[in-house]
Amino acid sequence: MDIKINSTIGFATLLFALLLSSCSMEKRIAKEANRSIFSDSNLISAHVGITIYDPVAKKYLYNHQGNKYFIPASNTKLLTCYVAMKYLGDSLIGLRYIDKGEGVIEAEPSGDPTFLHPDFKTQPVYDFLKRNKNIFITTQNWKEKVLGFGWSWDDYNEDYMVERSAMPIHGNVVSFNQNGIAIPAYFQKKVEGDLSNKSFFIKRDLATNRYFVVPSVHKTAAVDIPFHTIDSNIFIRLLTDTLHVKITLANSIFDRTSSAHMLHSQPTDSLLKIMMHRSDNFFAEQSLLMVSNERLGYMNDEKIIDTLLKSDYKDMPQQPRWVDGSGLSRYNLITPQDFVFLLEKMKNEFSWSRITTILSTGGDGTLGSSYQNYRGKIYAKTGTLSNNVALSGYLLTNKGKQYIFSVMVNNHQTKAGNIRKSVEKFITQIIQKY
């Protein structure tokens, strides 16, 4: 009897100690948050959400507005990254084709952004197409617009807002060097104005592929400008100029039967690593469209997002509003707890080595100027839009713990760098102390 009573008392004492420890830890983290973030004059008027989660204990260590919605900016790429890791396989499908014999093929593009992209030196799809004489390409699987829902239309000339397409080529940008020489050369004849002056910038017409030389007080720098992809023949002309074979745009629906072959282009993770390390909007947008193409048979953001929210993401703590692959849109809304859920799901389904290859760590990728002394201690994705900063990922603490976290700051009125420094101060304290 005494043994039983002592056991009960011992268990109760242990449980009480654990609860006390948990409360104590939450209070200590809250104290760090107050010191690093909430006492910072740059954040006093901002909307802040913080969630820190222990995936081993299956509990939140700290929650401040973790269930509130925020504009996630490029943290949205985490949503895209997970489904790309899951549904695009080990290597990207660059093209589906049917061999008609005698050098004639029918082909259906997959939205692969790596085709003739300068980041990828080997080009299996190009090498294959070059060996044929007559190529019929259908884009009937394209059911999307070139710009995403809620994108800022007046950023159309910027290299971070590249137009989407069924068959991207050269990254869907025209590169101008300091002398205004265009690559691909096809666009040189589209440039209007005097290129002899060494101080100018180049601006594309909103709805066409006309480029204008505009005088400037600043010395000309090399620049990448998105070309207009809404003309369905533009990639046909670029392909013809590049391959020097006959290319025809077909209006037929591609028959994905046993006679169709799949041609792979690049390792999937080689695309995703660049996408996350550089926070490449174009790669993210095309990755989500490629997932749509594989799961639905056509490319459409709204349909694939609806499908994913009802399947892979149906158990998120709060239902996100998700509208694009990159986070360019301010219509995206998601909570810190949702990102923690997503990151735990990623950790449970994929190898740690794969995750840590794709995500940036301290001093690397988009974390290149921060967390310099914490390489291997943090793996995360940044997010930045004007007045909005986000950071979500994994922490490996000095005490050997692994935590999942999300910090989101909306509506600040200072430089993004000031916000990032405050968040870094808070995160590094968690790594050091817990």
Q: Hey, what amino acid is at 113?
A: P
173-176 sheet: strands from edge to edge: 182-183, 173-176, 223-226
**Does 24 score more than 90 pLDDT?**
no
Are β-strands 191-192 and 91-101 bridged in parallel, bridged antiparallel, or unpaired?
A: unpaired
**Does 126 score more than 90 pLDDT?**
yes
- Distance between CA atoms of 156 and 175, rounded to whole angstroms? 15
* Structure tokens belonging to residue 368: 């290149």
The mean pLDDT of 52-79, rounded to a whole number, is 98
pLDDT per residue over 177-214, tens digit each? 999 999 999 999 999 999 998 899 999 999 999 999 99
Query: CB under 8 Å, gap of 24 or more: what pairs does 128-131 form?
Result: 128/95, 128/263, 129/95, 129/239, 129/243, 129/245, 130/243, 130/245, 131/103
Q: 10: pLDDT confidence band, cut at 50, 70 and 90?
A: low
211-215 sheet: strands from edge to edge: 191-192, 211-215, 200-204
pLDDT per residue over 211-234, tens digit each? 999 999 998 999 999 999 987 678
The mean pLDDT of 290-304, rounded to a whole number, is 98
The DSSP code for 155 is G
pTM of the model: 0.94
Tally the residues of the chain.
434
pLDDT per residue over 336-370, tens digit each? 999 999 999 999 999 999 999 999 999 999 999 99
Q: H or E element: which one contains 61?
A: strand 59-64
- Distance between CA atoms of 268 and 275, rounded to whole angstroms? 11
The mean pLDDT of 42-62, rounded to a whole number, is 96
**Does 17 score more than 90 pLDDT?**
no
- Cβ atoms 180, 186 nearer than 8 A: no
Q: Determine if residue 282 is left, alpha or beta; phi over 0 gives left, psi from -120 to 50 gives alpha, anything else beta.
A: alpha
Task: Please name the residue ranges forming H helices in 122-254.
Answer: 124-130, 234-243
**Does 2 score more than 80 pLDDT?**
no
Q: Which of 27, 38, 31 is nearest to 407 (CA)?
A: 38
**Does 313 score more than 70 pLDDT?**
yes
- Distance between CA atoms of 308 and 200, rounded to whole angstroms? 46
Quickly tell me which residue has 């104290």 as its tokens: 31
pLDDT per residue over 233-248, tens digit each? 788 999 999 999 999 9
How would DSSP label each residue in 132-155?
-SEEEEE-TTB-S-SS-TT--GGG
Q: 4: pLDDT confidence band, cut at 50, 70 and 90?
A: very low
How high is the pLDDT of residue 12?
Answer: 52
Quickly tell me which residue has 């061999």 as its tokens: 99
How high is the pLDDT of residue 3?
Answer: 46
pLDDT per residue over 70-118, tens digit each? 999 999 999 999 999 999 999 999 999 999 999 999 999 999 999 999 9
Q: H or E element: which one contains 54?
A: strand 47-54
- Distance between CA atoms of 30 and 34, rounded to whole angstroms? 6
Q: Which of 274, 304, 276 is nearest to 288 (CA)?
A: 304
Q: How many CA atoms lie within 13 A of 145 on its CB side?
A: 9
Domains present along the chain, CATH in parentheses: 25-84+281-433 (3.40.710.10), 92-266 (no CATH)
Q: Which of 361, 362, 359, 381 is nearest to 373 (CA)?
A: 362
> Of all residues in the chain, what percent carry a pLDDT higher than 70?
94
- Cβ atoms 44, 59 nearer than 8 A: no
- Distance between CA atoms of 3 and 37, rounded to whole angstroms? 50
Q: H or E element: which one contains 192?
A: strand 191-192
